[in-house]
Structure 1
Amino acid sequence: MGTTASGIVLVGGQIVVAHIGDSRIYRLRGGTLEQITADHTFVQRLVDSGRITPEEAAVHPRRSVLMRVLGDVDAAPEIDTKVLDTRPGDRWLLCSDGLSSYVSDERIAAALQSTTSAQAAADRLVKDSLDHGAPDNVTVIVVDIGDSDDPAPQHLFVGSAAAPLSFEGESARRPIRLPTLLLHPLKASQPEDAHFEPEREGYLEELIQEDRRRAMRRRITWLVVVVLAIAVIVTTVVVGYQWTQSRYYVGVDHGRVAVFRGVQQNIGPIHLSSVYQTTTIEVADLPAFYRESVRNTLGADDLRDALAIVDRLSNQAGDQQ
């Protein structure tokens, strides 16, 4: 078992920081929020190496995998420590991933700036986390730096570090009674991949290989989607063009009545109609009404209908002569 730990100690005008895991420490100074600690997670290593973006890390299936924790997995865990200057007016935030994983840095900064009371800011951040669907392990500490040069030291532990571990033997466990079992039936469920520290050599390499396979599957999925989309577009274009070639109309071709195959539209340089048959009927020989109608084109239901229109126009041309 292991846990994360993030702590600060105010010594004069300086802050001493100690950190391990994926809890975070922020500093708000002059309206700017800065993340002081770095997450000891698998996805953070991927981000640092440029393999994924921070946006991809936020939804990565292994985002909860910790590479370093405080617990019984390592007798001498590597803890990040640093000493930073602080000044009156600084506001420090210590939080678990129940806050940072569900509330954006922009919303955190807005909450810290909009409230004057540290307690009110902490309460608002906890509420924002729960409103965004965070689990119940939301830990938030807000510390304001005042004008006092050497404040009295105060020690405060919260979260899983607030109480010592206790273990109960099998005999100390209360038996499950029938009414309780009926009201709260046991559910067979697989535990989720929560925070844990790799315990064997090569685990990081295994995760990297898994991430590569995941990236490859994602690329293949996108490739299949693109190919299917192109296939749908091509099929639609082909079917649409074939439909246009089943249509006919009567118009003018070099001064003569002609039957056209297709529709009277163009898609850029692509013509959706072509001359099917040019007749010997001169448009000038038609009566004025028919002459104008042919120039505006006459639609036909099919080829037989188009040829029937040509026969009627031929009769009108003969009568005109």
Structure 2
Amino acid sequence: MSLSLRFAAGSHKGMIREGNEDSGYAGPRLLAIADGMGGQAAGEVASSEVISALVTLDDDVPGSDILTSLGTAVQRANDQLRMMVEEDPQLEGMGTTLTALLWTGQRLGLVHVGDSRAYLLRDGVLTQITQDHTWVQRLVDEGRITEEEATTHPQRSLLMRALGSGDHVEPDLSIREVRAGDRYLICSDGLSGVVSHQTMEETLAAYQEPQQTVQELIQLALRGGGPDNITVIVADVLDVDGGDGPAGRLSDTPVVVGAVAESQPLLNDGGAMQTPAGRASGLGRSGQPPAGGFGPPGSGDDLGYGGMPPEDGGYGTYSERDLRKPRGAGRRWFKRIFFTLLVLALVGAGAYGGWRWTQTQYFVGANDGHVALYRGISQDLAWVSLSKVEKDHPDIELKYLPSYQQRQVEETIAGSSLAKAEAKIRELGAQATACRKQEEARAAAAARPSAPPSEEQAGGTAGSTKPKPTPTTAVPSPGPTLTEDEKRLASNCGKQ
């Protein structure tokens, strides 16, 4: 069985955002979406740079170790973003998510950082195959909030991991076994944050052409208000041995959408660029889609998908209201300023509310070899620490705790409230004291000398010799005495 991908991609800036900070690429071997963030145009720059760094993976069939190829490419992209920030301080704070699939012909390598998502539709069931690197997902994993609460949490977009946020990035890497009939979806949170899982499943399970499915998903997000940029890639795994039906209409023409499409210069090389990545770099914002491509090159314009609206008679075209632009420069700039201030106010209020919430949380952790009480949560938010030492306890040394408690403290113990965290500190203090006393008592016992032998044991008889005076020696301390409670706790000291 010979398998191949049939793919399509599209991007739209949404109904509120002034520009498109998403970038997407779909080729015969590489499918990738990056959702940029940062002030000014930094988000567009970040997502474009990351996609441009990865697109070389589409040139050749990957080797056996595709995860190494993906991991190296992602680290190279992250290094490029950090270098750009060093050269231009105004870009400080820019970053981007990344979710990408690399196709070998039989398997897919998956790399993921941030809150863009990848899904698999198999046998009519849609499954999310990535995990969001967000604050609220961490709260869900820790059992602090439910999945339903996470969908409406005011801080649901705060990222815990992103490219560009540090010198080293830790992406999630995995291998996906594929089978004919599988359908993959990669999308930015402009789709997954607006359209429900059930609706996406029903739309994908209709098994329309990938380009039609991309258009319908984007339109669903627009009908939901389109509060964010929307970028979608749909790819079908097909058995091409038959050479007929949909498999016979496969095209290897790459598709570039979003910010990266706007940033690519048009090439006048008469078609000299032969590699997929080379052809992709020439797509730019051309007026016509490439012949035979299932996904036209897009830039996120209001007409959607590179100036190509849905065909008549499909599941609907954009309404006049969707496509209408404000008339007059004065009104346009007024709306821009108004929405900018509104977004800044909402983000500022949400961030402040989130920070205030962290200051009501407490946990127990390690600090230079001993126990400490922390205020906040045991995570950093990209560039910002969300915790600080509330009270140090140098008297509770980790070395005196049982091994399992040492691991718990090093991994942090959530206390939620101050009272619960302080109660845990007292419990650890009592355990450390019992183990320390037990160790000191054993040391004292080992240092105590044994009793001297009697004359008879030495081989003499009574009265036959004059006893020699025994030199006086200091008697070592018997060591600390453990209370009954401490004896009970001391039984835990050797536990692993």
Matched, 1:193 2:363: no
Q: SS state of the match for residue 83, structure 1?
A: strand
Matched, 1:140 2:232: yes
Select which of 15, 19, 26 maps to 2:108. Answer: 15
> Superposed, which structure 2 residues align to 1:22-33 within 5 Å?
22-33=115-126
Length, aligned pairs only: 194
* 1:77 to 1:157, Cα distance in 2 relative to 1, 3 A: farther
The one-letter amino acid paired with 1:147 is D
More displaced 10-residue stretch of structure 1: 195-204 or 21-30: 195-204
Aligned residues of 2:97 and 2:114 also touching (Cα < 8 A): yes
Question: How does the TM-score come out when normalised to structure 2?
Answer: 0.36
Aligned residues of 1:20 and 1:80 also touching (Cα < 8 A): yes
* 1:21 to 1:164, Cα distance in 2 relative to 1, 3 A: farther
- Counterpart-to-counterpart distance in 1, 2:253 and 2:264: 23
- Counterpart-to-counterpart distance in 1, 2:183 and 2:207: 11
Select which of 128, 133, 142 maps to 1:40. Answer: 133
Question: How does the TM-score come out when normalised to structure 1?
Answer: 0.54
- Counterpart-to-counterpart distance in 1, 2:222 and 2:129: 24
Aligned residues of 1:64 and 1:193 also touching (Cα < 8 A): no
Select which of 54, 64, 72 maps to 2:147. Answer: 54
**Runs of 4+ in structure 1 over 6 Å off:** 151-154
Q: Cα distance, 1:107 vs. partner?
A: 0.5
Select which of 157, 165, 182 maps to 1:64. Answer: 157
* 1:74 to 1:160, Cα distance in 2 relative to 1, 3 A: farther
Root-mean-square deviation (CA, aligned residues, Å) is 3.2
Matched, 1:120 2:195: no
- Counterpart-to-counterpart distance in 1, 2:388 and 2:209: 43
* 1:204 to 1:45, Cα distance in 2 relative to 1, 3 A: farther
Match of residue 104 from structure 1: 196
Which structure has the greater CA radius of gyration? 1
Select which of 75, 89, 98 maps to 1:5. Answer: 98
Match of residue 275 from structure 1: none
Q: Cα distance, 1:78 vs. partner?
A: 1.1
CA deviation string 1:169-198 (max 9, x = no partner): xxxxxxxxxx73466334472514299953
* 1:120 to 1:52, Cα distance in 2 relative to 1, 3 A: same
How many percent identity over aligned positions? Answer: 40
Match of residue 282 from structure 1: none
* 1:134 to 1:142, Cα distance in 2 relative to 1, 3 A: same
* 1:154 to 1:8, Cα distance in 2 relative to 1, 3 A: farther
Match of residue 333 from structure 2: 184
Unmatched 5+ stretches in structure 1: 167-178, 207-211, 214-321
Q: Cα distance, 1:101 vs. partner?
A: 0.7
The one-letter amino acid paired with 1:193 is V
- Counterpart-to-counterpart distance in 2, 1:84 and 1:32: 16
Aligned residues of 2:162 and 2:382 also touching (Cα < 8 A): no
Structure with bigger RCO (C-alpha 8 Å, 6+ apart): 2
Match of residue 83 from structure 1: 175
CA deviation string 1:229-248 (max 9, x = no partner): xxxxxxxxxxxxxxxxxxxx
